[in-house]
Amino acid sequence: MTTAAHSHSGHAHEGPSWSEHVLARFEREGFRAGGARAAVVELLAEQDCCLSAQEIFDRLRGGGRSVGIASIYRVLDQLFQLQLVQRVDVGGGVARFEAAHPGGDHHHHLLCNGCGRVVAFEDAALEAELDRVAERLGARVAGHELVLHGACADCSRG
Amino acid sequence: MTTAAHSHSGHAHEGPSWSEHVLARFEREGFRAGGARAAVVELLAEQDCCLSAQEIFDRLRGGGRSVGIASIYRVLDQLFQLQLVQRVDVGGGVARFEAAHPGGDHHHHLLCNGCGRVVAFEDAALEAELDRVAERLGARVAGHELVLHGACADCSRG
DNA sequence: GCAATAATGGGAACGGTTTTCATTACCGAT
DNA sequence: ATCGGTAATGAAAACCGTTCCCATTATTGC
Ligand SMILES: [Zn+2]
Ligand SMILES: [Zn+2]
Ligand SMILES: [Zn+2]
Ligand SMILES: [Zn+2]
């Protein structure tokens, strides 16, 4: 279930590509090269929204690449430690991951309880408000995660 | 780990108490009375932030009440279905639950990566902004969940 | 009280994630 | 180019939160 889809519009391919950026970072950080890591990074790079470990596993298998599920979790953890991916938790006990772009160009998610889709959205004013809240709390907020629950535009129109 | 604490200030005890409200609702809904449900509701009523099923289990055990973990999950699910509790997910694969007060008086959480505490906060302007976002998306948003990650006021001052 | 049946709790089952460990592959030194 | 030390990998087991199953207990209408 949860056929991940998105309502993104923009996101052109610019700059030194996320996967190159990531692989370079790994090398700089002293990691060795490895096929599993490259495969996961490459796959994540071509998504524009979150995937679960199992989804990554299935897609790599489908694409001929045989990567152990343990390696996938390992790579995801490494990426997360280096803040190169964002962990997205839409409930159901499964963690999802998506590329964290350096430009801070991040989005949030609406989980539709009608069709089960995950709809991504961005909102600059919301981000500004969140910054303001962080300041008011006196906390050094490194990141945030927001999930809206409800009926997406399609489902609420029907 | 994760010693749940809070920075709440307000929250006076007013009205017909959350537990009474909840128990009445269960009766109206055709449920029979039961010890496990009463115990869980009573415990949740005296918290001002979220508890996990295991934490509820431990506290009830500690308080002499022996309640099966299965019953706790069942009651939490019933409460959730009736929208009497809010499910809070601060990651780590454990679901937490807290009383949902009828007045819509809900709060959000900052997960401190320094001390591990969960700090609760409210912000009316943020809620308004979230409403605006929902409207812009054209979605019928039933609820939302926000988690901030970073160093709480105490930890970022140290 | 009595019967019907909902509520409960122990334990097994389940599914996602982590750990273990033997094997493979990378990379610097030779 | 080869070798050796060691990181990376993947299969399988372990782990852990949650759900399911079912025999027992407790509640409610009669
Ligand atoms: Zn996304
Ligand atoms: Zn944001
Ligand atoms: Zn809370
Ligand atoms: Zn809110």
> Are the Cβ atoms of A142 and B151 closer than 8 angstroms?
yes
pLDDT computed for residue B10 by the predictor: 47
- Average pLDDT, stretch A72-96? 94
- Is pLDDT above 70 for B13? no
A1 interface with B at CB cutoff 8 Å: no
Q: Are B73 and B53 in contact (CB under 8 A)?
A: yes
- Centroid of ligand 4 to alpha carbon of A27 (angstroms): 41
Which bound ligand lies closest to the C-alpha atom of A127? 2
Strand partners, A100: none
> Are the Cβ atoms of B153 and A139 closer than 8 angstroms?
yes
pLDDT tens track for B79-107: 999 999 999 998 888 999 999 988 778 89
- Average pLDDT, stretch B27-52? 97
**Cα B14 to Cα A44: distance, rounded to the nearest angstrom:** 50
- Average pLDDT, stretch B70-80? 98
- Is pLDDT above 70 for B6? no
pLDDT computed for residue A5 by the predictor: 46
Q: Spell out which residues have Cβ within 5 A of ligand 2, the ion.
A: A 127
- Domains located in chain B, CATH noted: 14-103 (1.10.10.10), 107-158 (3.30.1490.190)
Q: Are A137 and B125 in contact (CB under 8 A)?
A: no
DSSP assignment, residue B32? P
For the four alpha carbons of B23, B26, B32 and B34, in that order, the dihedral sign comes to negative
State which H helix or E strand residue A140 sits in. Answer: strand A140-151
Burial class (CB within 10 angstroms; exposed 0-12, middle 13-18, buried 19+) of A80: middle
Nearest nucleotide, CA A78 to C1': D8
Q: Name the token pair of A135.
A: 């300041």
pLDDT computed for residue B14 by the predictor: 67
Three-state DSSP string of A47-106: CCCCEEHHHHHHHHHHCCCCCCHHHHHHHHHHHHHCCCEEEEECCCCCEEEEECCCCCCC
Nearest to A156 among B87, B112, B139 (CB): B139
Q: Spell out which residues have Cβ within 5 A of ligand 1, the ion.
A: A 49-50, 98, 120
Query: Residues of A with CB below 8 A from B137's CB?
Result: 110, 119, 121, 148, 152-153
Q: Are strands B108-112 and B85-88 parallel, antiparallel or unpaired?
A: unpaired
Percent of chain A at pLDDT > 90 equals 72
Lowest-confidence segment of A112-121, B4-13, B148-157 by average pLDDT: B4-13
Across chain B, mean pLDDT equals 89
Helix A35-45 × helix A18-28 angle, to 10°: 150
State which H helix or E strand residue A134 sits in. Answer: helix A124-137
- Is pLDDT above 60 for B1? no
With cut-offs at 50, 70 and 90, classify the pLDDT of residue B29: very high
- Is pLDDT above 80 for B158? no
- Is pLDDT above 90 for A61? yes
B120 interface with A at CB cutoff 8 Å: no
pLDDT computed for residue B117 by the predictor: 85
